[in-house]
With several copies, the nearest count.
Chain A
Amino acid sequence: MSNVDLIEMKIPAKAEYVGVIRLTLSGIANRIGFSYEEIEDIKVAISEAITNSITHGGVKEGEGEITISFGVYEDRLEVMVADDGESFQLNEVKSKIGPYKKSESMEDLREGGFGLFLIEVLMDKVQINNGLDGVTVLMTKYLNGVGVDLDDDQVSSQS
């Protein structure tokens, strides 16, 4: 018996299926023993990753596919979201994301760029891989809320 259960899902890259994944996630996270608050946080993080795959994946709405893998461990949940769209310049993007800063004037206020930031804040560990054939976001949430750094790259080695 291995110490991880893998659940894999493939959905069309369509906005209407993000809510379905949230339902699946709530069942899985509940099994692991996460609290209501934690489950709601993970829901947001996963939705952000899937939303990015849908809106930035570079595929025409409804034509791409998104793979979501849940790695169920005793002490944590690993979620991988992978699309088959275009990659992006992570460093360039990283300089733009973050919370709202008072210095921003109302006119310049960006209307996006909060998704990756929310993922980073709400999850304990985030790893973004930019492949030739799409983007993979690997997110980890620990049961006790503390992001201990263990050798836990089982799911990532799959990507």
Chain B
Amino acid sequence: MELNIDIVEERNKSVVRLSGEIDVYTAPQLKEKLLPLTKMTGNEVEVDMEFVSYMDSTGLGVFISALKSSNENSSKLKMINLSDRVYRVFNITGLHEIMDLERINKVER
């Protein structure tokens, strides 16, 4: 019932490793850590979601504002290793059409 957020900074790239649940309780922490990374021009932000066991619309909200910010600041946002469960939430809401998503063991966008 917590969300661990691990950030590794590489050259022009930030890798964000999440593990736990993204809900109304944890989404604010995620937003606070993720948004600054998308504000660095030219930065490639890769969010590894392999160990995200739960996500609802509060998570979508965070990724939508991160996407907007990355568009405004010419950075890139990519979510990788999405489980079927997590992908399902993006997919039902149609957001898979505008987000750069890579499913676990399945390449899609």
Q: Which residues of A contact B (CB under 8 A)?
A: 15-16, 18-20, 22-23, 27, 30-31, 40, 43-44, 47-48, 50-51, 54-55, 99-102, 106-107, 109-112, 114-115, 117-118, 121-122
Contact = CB atoms under 8 A, between A and B. Distances in A.
Interface in B73-108: 85, 89, 92-95, 97-98
B93 A30 contact: no
Nearest to A116: B57
Given A19-B25, A48-B57, A111-B61, A118 B1 contact: no
8 tightest Cβ-Cβ pairs between the two chains A and B = A99-B94, A19-B1, A100-B94, A15-B25, A114-B57, A51-B24, A15-B24, A115-B57
B101 to A, nearest CB: 13
- Tell me the dominant secondary structure on chain A's binding face: helix
B71 interface: yes
Given A47-B56, A48-B56, A112-B61, A100 B98 contact: yes
Nearest to A31: B1
A111 B24 contact: no
Given A47-B56, A111-B64, A40 B25 contact: no
Nearest to A108: B68
B21 interface: yes
Nearest to B91: A99
A99 B57 CA distance: 11
Contact of B1 (A27, A43, A109, A110): A27
Contact of B23 (A47, A111, A114): A47
Contacts of B61: 111-112, 114
Contact of A99 (B54, B67, B92): B92
Contact of B56 (A20, A51, A106): A51
A137 B61 CA distance: 22
A19 B93 contact: no
Nearest to B85: A40
A20 to B, nearest CB: 8
A118 B94 contact: no
Interface in B11-53: 21, 23-25
A64 to B, nearest CB: 14
Given A15-B25, A23-B1, A109-B67, 16 more contacts: A27-B1, A30-B1, A31-B1, A40-B54, A44-B56, A50-B24, A99-B92, A101-B94, A106-B67, A106-B71, A106-B98, A109-B68, A109-B98, A117-B93, A118-B57, A118-B93
Contacts of B21: 19
